[in-house]
Amino acid sequence: MKRSLIAGLGLLTLIAAAPASAADLPRQSPYRGPAMVSGFNWTGAYLGLHAGYGWGGSNGIDMRGGFVGGQIGYNWQGMGSPWVLGVEVDSAWANMGQTSTATGGGVAVSVKSEANYIGSARARIGYTWDRTMLYATGGLAWASNKIDVNATSGGFTAGISDRQTHFGGAIGAGIEHAFAPNWSGKLEYLYTGYGSKTYFSSLGGISADANSHTLKVGLNYHIR
């Protein structure tokens, strides 16, 4: 009987001490899972510079050479969406042309075609992997081209020239990567078909059109 009483008192002591011991244990914070990291968003205006090389030509116009210029645009990307919609306008000084010479009967005739300005206004649609975007693009394009014709005989030279602005369409694709919060670099290919224009109308006129392939690299600053 005495042992049972002692055992009962000991059990009551342990039960009474249990809540106090539990209160002394460190409290654990509820599990929240890993911290979420927000992805890069392409929404906003941007401006930049580009340079590249072009080749092509048709029907009297040869467009082969380099160009350098600038661009301005705007992107929009919905929250949580990998798709980007945008517009871009670019303009470039160019040195894209070639000179051909033919000689006969003591007369040398040279024909020089040179596009010294090209530009475009295009829409873009891209698919992104955070800071990297693949995109397709297309829209309007234009180029200012000059044709010079010179004839030389016996030290005497005579020539005529005419300049026309061609309009057409461009389509292409590119890849762009944001390597810093406000900076991105891109590589872009465009195929452009320029409509026909008539040169030397006062002499009866000749019709000329052109197409070109261009490959360029660009650097953009994003305005946040």
Q: Which domains does the chain have, with CATH numbers?
A: 42-223 (2.40.160.20)
Residue 30: the pLDDT is 53
- Give the amino acid at 14: L
Helix, strand, coil percentages for the chain (3-state, nearest 5): 10, 70, 20
> Given pLDDT bands bounded at 50, 70 and 90, which one contains residue 10?
very low
CA–CA dist 17, 25 (Å, integer)? 13
| Structure tokens that stand for 153 in this block | 């005989």
Using CA atoms, how far apart are residues 181 and 132, in angstroms rounded to an integer? 13
pLDDT tens for residues 155-208? 788 888 899 999 999 999 999 999 999 999 999 999 999 999 999 988 888 888
- 52 has which bridge partners? 67, 216
Tell me the pTM: 0.78
What does the radius of gyration of the chain's CA atoms come to, in whole angstroms? 35
| Cα distance between residue 166 and residue 119, in whole Å | 11
Up-side HSE of residue 139: CA atoms within 13 Å toward CB?
A: 15
Amino acid identity, residue 4? S
